[in-house]
A and B are shown apart, each in its own frame.
Chain A
Amino acid sequence: MSGHVTAMNPRERALLAGRRTPQAVLAKAAKWSVLALFLIVTLFPLLWLLLQTFKTNAEFVMNPLALPSGFYYQNYLDAVRISGLPRLLMNSVIVSSASTAINMLICSMGAFVFAREKFKGQQLIVTIILAGVLVPIIALMLPYYRIIRGLGLFDSLAGLTLVYVAINIPISTFLLQGFMKSIPFEMEEAGVIDGCNFWQRYWLIVLPLSKLGIVTAGTFVFLFSWNEFVYALLLTASFTTRTLQLGIRDFQGQFFTNYTGMYAAITLSIIPSVIVYVFFHERIISGLTSGALKT
């Protein structure tokens, strides 16, 4: 047995022993250090923030590094009362849901045509729309401001929704037409034989089969709209149209030195995004993955 082992070269022996050469051990340590470092960078600040929300403000000021002595939920009550969170949340829900629904409707119609029909100039149109991904949208502040004012939609949730629907056209078109291209044509042909017209092919056949693609693209649009700040800042002015992200910016002024109350408000503002992520992370990852592999 031992004779057999010594007959092998060092590399083979190392392989057999689970690769415990000094280099392998070093490589493994380096590997886990990198993974741990990024895990800490990613999660520690968030966990630290969460922990502060359970402390009293005095506890926090005394030692920001200490663990909370109990569960001081008053911070959360303060957070809701001081920040006007319910109104902010409602506005964000309205704008994000409406943007997602409208964007999905118009982009799925466009994507259906791009993926399932052939016509002259198609490739050019698709390229122009997809190139929109690279346009630095913040450079368009002035024209968007003028357009929304011109339409009489300044300081309205409708104006904000319209802008979010538009900004997301390139990404949604890209994801949806990619998904629709993968649906077998036989399904549609069977429908045509059964007498489906153009609209029915879209509404009764392709759209139901694209559910997964719609969920993926819809998640991207929803999260974008939920988190958007620049255009909410530019296109709204009053408290009644203020979205959550604008609200967060004001926390500093509202809470003043009630730090733990402010941290509770920030925590509450983050929770909806985290919930969406918990439910849809598979879709988000698959959307990014398919995007990467198609280019």
Chain B
Amino acid sequence: MTLHKHWKGIALFLLPVGVMYVTFFIYPLGYVFVVSLTDFRGFGSMEFVGLANFRRIFEMTNFQFGLRNNLIWALSLGFGQVALAAVVAMILARKPPFWRFLRTAYFLPNVISQVAIAMLWYTIYRENFGLLNTALRAIGLDHLALNWLGNLSTALPAVILQQLLYIGYFMIILLAGVMSIPRSLYESAEIDGANVFQQEVFITIPMVKSIAVVAMTLAMAFGIRHFEATFLLTGGGPANRTMTLGILLHRNLHAANYGRASAISAVLIIVGALIIGLTRHLLTTRSAIEDVKQ
């Protein structure tokens, strides 16, 4: 109705957000892919080098570890963290006593900066005066106390765990989904003799699938873009065992290896898109088949 009358207003209102979005999303994405094909070092001329940067980084040990660890991060958060969050969401959706308090409490760490959380976990994991080792020694398990962040086999699990256990963000998202399921479905299942466990498996899980896929997508995106805790706790060590592409990108940027840094960015973006796209594809296809069966 008012289609043409307001075109000036519409254009004017979209201008600021449009300029910002093009400058900080579209142009940078293009920039990264173009520069990844050059030997740019920040000044002077740019020479086109084809896929040389990509060939080079895939040969680098720290990149191989980084890529592997980013995948581990994405899968741990996408499946592990979301699964834990789903269990808690299913419990809270039945509104046990104090459920509102619990919901608020579980989310609290998510508003605290990752930097502060990482510092907190440093005080837990550190070898001397660390909370974990002190507690282990106090109960006589001295032999289990070790340098959690410096050990080759425990460093990565330790860093992932300090983020994975804070389920609040995904718990809230999933709780919203579970609570939107009509109560009548559970009531009729109860009358049919289904116990709580069966109700969760056969009603809740299929009904929240689409929201769970959203949560998993976000969790994987968080895993791909992980930076802070690793940067502060281990810096990618020991011996690259906790290396991530973000840390490597930051290093190459500081060394003014702009071509190589951009190639790492490009891999980060492509791998992120692939893993998210693949998960969504696999999970939604299966649910479509189930829908047909029903």
Contacts and interface: CB of A to CB of B under 8 A. Distances in A.
B144 interface: no
Contact of B113 (A60, A146, A227): A227
A140 B272 contact: no
What does DSSP make chain A's interface, helix, strand, loop or mixed?
helix
B29 A140 contact: yes
A229 B228 contact: yes
Contacts, number: 255
B121 to A, nearest CB: 7
Given A42-B168, A285-B107, A132 B138 contact: no
Contacts of B182: none
Contact of A135 (B25, B88, B253): B25
B89 to A, nearest CB: 10
Interface string A97-111: 000000001110110
Contact of B225 (A105, A118, A138, A248): A138
Interface in A114-147: 117-119, 125, 128-129, 132-147
A1 interface: no
Interface string A172-186: 010000000000000
Q: Which 8 A-B pairs have the closest CB atoms?
A: A198-B9, A166-B24, A143-B28, A227-B113, A110-B17, A289-B176, A136-B225, A139-B265
Interface of B: 2-3, 6-10, 13-14, 16-18, 20-21, 23-25, 27-29, 31-32, 35, 84, 87-88, 91-92, 96, 102-109, 111-116, 119-121, 123-124, 129-131, 134-135, 138, 165-169, 172-177, 180, 193, 195-197, 210-211, 214-215, 217-218, 221, 224-225, 227-228, 232, 246, 249-250, 253, 258, 261-262, 265-266, 268-269, 272-273, 276
Given A34-B91, A113-B10, A125-B14, 7 more contacts: A35-B88, A42-B109, A42-B165, A46-B112, A64-B130, A134-B276, A251-B119
Interface of A: 11, 23, 27, 31-32, 34-35, 38-39, 41-43, 45-46, 48-49, 52, 60-61, 63-65, 105-107, 109-110, 112-113, 117-119, 125, 128-129, 132-147, 163, 165-167, 169, 173, 198-199, 202, 223, 226-227, 229-230, 234, 244-245, 248-249, 251-252, 259, 263, 266, 269-270, 273-274, 276-277, 281, 284-285, 288-293, 295
